[in-house]
């Protein structure tokens, strides 16, 4: 009896393998919009990608490795687009730098959600060599990004650390707020704020960048 579910032929060329890997990542990403990380399994991903479960393990040994690949992909996209924005605008003031980083951080909730997983689950459960490779690539990309900021390297790194901490913190808090009861009038966001994340994140980032820029020794800006 011929199965009505036809499985894709085995990927053979490099292009086919890259496409198959991308199909797996996109399937996991789609599922993650409606399924918690804990409840999401490799079986679910295989069904969503219309692949045999064994095929997934040709590309990723574990769910954690699969999601670490998603983190890597999203971070690369974000760094690339942020560097491009810095090159286009050439910001020369703290306010202009804040404008770029805030704009670059808009509409990247999937990346922020993945970064929450990174420190709490993924790096603790993947092979050490994968963690080292991820960190090595991340340092290289962050170095490129910092080189395009009009500050010293030390100040640029501090700004990005605050960007990371504030982004993750407000992402988690916003998710908690959406799950709780509707806010009272006293708790409601200021008029014009599309969501707690965008308003409060921008407020904090502008304050941080202004302060760190003011602390820069004269002549130390890049």
CA dihedral 103, 109, 113, 116 (to 10 degrees): 20
pLDDT of residue 158: 97
Which top CATH class is 63-215?
A: mainly alpha
For the domain 12-60, what is the CATH code? Answer: 1.10.10.60
- Same fold yes or no, 12-60 and 63-215: no
pLDDT of residue 189: 45
Report how far residue 127's alpha carbon sits from residue 125's, in angstroms, rounded to the nearest whole number. 7
Report how far residue 58's alpha carbon sits from residue 11's, in angstroms, rounded to the nearest whole number. 11
Mean pLDDT split into 10-residue runs, the chain, 222 residues: 46 85 96 91 95 93 96 96 97 96 92 90 92 95 96 96 92 73 47 63 95 83 56
Which tokens in the block code for residue 174?
């916003």
Report how far residue 145's alpha carbon sits from residue 149's, in angstroms, rounded to the nearest whole number. 7
Q: Where are the domains of the chain?
A: 12-60, 63-215
The model's pTM: 0.83
């Amino acid at each position: 009896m011929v199965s009505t579910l036809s499985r894709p032929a085995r990927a053979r060329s490099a292009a086919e393998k890259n496409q198959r890997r991308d199909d797996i990542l996109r399937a996991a990403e789609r599922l993650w919009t409606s399924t918690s990380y804990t409840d999401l399994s490799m079986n679910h991903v295989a069904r969503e990608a219309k692949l045999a479960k064994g095929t997934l393990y040709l590309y990723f040994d574990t769910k954690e490795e699969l999601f670490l690949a998603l983190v890597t992909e999203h971070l690369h996209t974000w760094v690339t687009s942020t560097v491009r924005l810095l090159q286009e605008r050439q910001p020369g003031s703290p306010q202009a730098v804040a404008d770029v980083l805030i704009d670059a951080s808009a509409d990247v909730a999937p990346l922020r959600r993945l970064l929450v997983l990174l420190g709490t689950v993924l790096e603790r459960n993947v092979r050490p060599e994968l963690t080292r490779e991820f960190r090595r690539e991340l340092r290289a990309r962050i170095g490129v990004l910092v080189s395009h900021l009009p500050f010293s390297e030390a100040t640029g790194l501090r700004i990005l650390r605050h960007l990371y901490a504030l982004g993750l913190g407000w992402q988690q808090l916003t998710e908690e707020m959406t799950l709780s009861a509707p806010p009272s009038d006293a708790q409601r966001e200021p008029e014009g704020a599309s969501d707690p994340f965008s308003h409060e994140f921008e407020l904090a980032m502008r304050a941080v960048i202004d302060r760190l820029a003011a602390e820069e020794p004269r002549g130390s800006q890049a």
